[in-house]
């Protein structure tokens, strides 16, 4: 007769099974997929396209965007996306998302620098053009001066609107600084 406290009695057949995955582990994995799915749904359509997802996942992410948030349908759709995510290489997808989001932040940083330089050119004039040319010799002095003059003229006529020349000035500075 076996004693109830015997350790053999409490051993489960899966204690030494290497392939066994607990329900808690499975639920954690599913939660990770659903969280990543939520992050995908928040992205813009162009950002999602850059991730090069498979067609079924891509279509369902776009469908989720038209469903009202905080509804049962939205929750079920996110669960379905989580289910589809099981067939995607998660680490690769996370790396692509990270690179894409870093690229977006780099672009906005470049835009901010170009905007600040434009403001400096408009307020200080030729001295700022000279300083910018010294710092970045690839810039064309004549083009900078011309765009600065045109921007100032347009801003005196319509101070509330963004002038065509100032937009062109920002584009020129931004493009030249990135090359």
Average pLDDT over the chain, rounded to an integer: 82
Say which residues have a Cβ less than 8 Å from residue 103's Cβ, sequence separation at least 6. Answer: none
Number of H helices, E strands in the chain: 9, 0
Angle at 157 between CA 154 and CA 160, to 5 degrees: 85
What pLDDT sits at residue 71? Answer: 92
Phi and psi at 92, nearest 5°, equal: -65, -40
What pLDDT sits at residue 57? Answer: 92
Instruction: Specify the CATH number for 106-178; select among 1.10.60.30, 1.10.1060.10, 3.40.50.2000, 3.40.50.300.
Output: 1.10.60.30
Instruction: Give the residue carrying structure tokens 């937009």.
Output: 167
Range of lowest pLDDT (63-67, 91-95, 105-109, 167-171):
105-109
What pLDDT sits at residue 138? Answer: 84
Mean pLDDT of 38-60: 89
Query: C-alpha dihedral over 158, 164, 165, 170, to 10 degrees?
Result: 120
> Is the pLDDT reported for residue 77 higher than 70?
yes
Condensed to tens digits (0 to 9), the pLDDT of residues 134-165 reads 888 888 888 888 888 888 888 787 766 677 88
Closest to 80 (Cα-Cα) out of 48, 47, 45, 37: 37
> Is the pLDDT reported for residue 24 higher than 70?
yes
Instruction: Give the residue carrying structure tokens 């003059």.
Output: 149
b/e 49-75 (16+ beta carbons within 10 angstroms → b)? ebbebeeebbebbeebeeeeeeeeeee
- Read off the tokens for 102: 């870093």
Q: Where are the domains of the chain?
A: 21-88, 106-178
Condensed to tens digits (0 to 9), the pLDDT of residues 84-123 reads 988 888 888 888 888 888 877 777 788 888 888 888 888 8
């Amino acid at each position: 007769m076996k004693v109830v406290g015997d350790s053999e009695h409490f051993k489960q057949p899966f204690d030494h099974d290497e392939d066994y995955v607990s329900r808690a582990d499975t639920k954690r994995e599913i939660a990770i997929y659903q969280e990543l799915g939520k992050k995908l749904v928040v992205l813009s359509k162009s950002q999602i396209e850059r991730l090069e997802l498979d067609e079924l996942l891509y279509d369902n992410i776009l469908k989720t965007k038209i469903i009202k948030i905080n509804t049962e349908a939205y929750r079920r759709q996110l669960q379905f996306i989580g289910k589809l995510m099981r067939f995607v290489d998660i680490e690769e997808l996370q790396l692509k998302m990270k690179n894409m989001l870093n690229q977006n932040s780099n672009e906005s940083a470049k835009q901010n620098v170009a905007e600040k330089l434009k403001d400096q050119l408009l307020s200080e004039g030729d001295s700022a053009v000279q300083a910018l040319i010294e710092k970045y010799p690839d810039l064309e002095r004549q083009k900078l001066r011309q765009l600065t003059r045109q921007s100032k003229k347009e801003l005196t006529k319509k101070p509330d609107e963004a002038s065509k020349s100032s937009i062109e000035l920002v584009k020129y500075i931004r493009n030249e600084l990135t090359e």
